[in-house]
């Protein structure tokens, strides 16, 4: 097990992975909780993107973000949560951040969001690859 000492604090690769996984999970947990208060608006945006049954889809997004985020935070079935959230991030990124078709004014913003989501996808893939089925590092 790899260790690092930062000003007297011993940090193992396992504890670093747990902290990183919890921070990643917090992103989805908070996002899902905030969507509850903006549920009608979220469903309306999904409808404008052509998502069928936008209210149902919005409910599923809220459920996935809260449950998946919480699973990552506490380390319960983190592999499965990472895979489910990775699939969600792929879909959301392609649907909401198509920088390749953005006009000049929106290009940089959309590219930035796209790349941010690609980085989040990478982190989720690392969680899925390194986590066991019951407890994860």
Judge whether 62 lies within some domain.
yes
Mean pLDDT is lowest, of 11-15, 46-50, 113-117, for 11-15
pTM for the whole structure:
0.86
Judge whether 100 lies within some domain.
yes
Judge whether 108 lies within some domain.
yes
Residue 60 domain boundaries: 3-130
Which DSSP string do the residues of 18-81 spell out, in sequence order?
A: HHHHHHHHHHHHHHHHHHHHTHHHHHHHHHHTT-SSHHHHHHHHHHHHHHHHHHHHHTBSHHHH
Number of residues that this document lists for the chain? 137
Judge whether 43 lies within some domain.
yes
SS3 call for 28: helix
Count how many domains the chain has: 1
The mean pLDDT value for 53-73 works out to 98
Judge whether 136 lies within some domain.
no
Judge whether 121 lies within some domain.
yes
Judge whether 71 lies within some domain.
yes
pLDDT at 107 over 80: yes
Judge whether 137 lies within some domain.
no
Pull the structure tokens for residue 75: 């380390």
pLDDT value of residue 136:
42
pLDDT at 98 over 80: yes
């Amino acid at each position: 097990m790899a260790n690092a000492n930062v000003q007297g604090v011993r940090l193992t690769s396992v504890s670093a992975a747990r902290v990183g996984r919890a921070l990643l999970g917090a992103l989805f947990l908070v996002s899902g909780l905030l969507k509850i208060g903006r549920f009608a608006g979220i469903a309306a945006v999904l409808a404008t993107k052509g998502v069928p049954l936008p209210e149902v889809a919005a409910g599923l997004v809220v459920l996935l973000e809260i449950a998946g985020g919480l699973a990552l935070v506490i380390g319960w079935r983190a592999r499965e949560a990472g895979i489910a959230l990775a699939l969600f991030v792929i879909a959301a990124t392609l649907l909401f951040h198509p920088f390749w078709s953005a006009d000049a004014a929106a290009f940089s913003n959309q590219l930035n969001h796209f790349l941010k989501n690609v980085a989040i996808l990478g982190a989720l893939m690392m969680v899925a690859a390194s986590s066991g089925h019951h407890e994860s590092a």
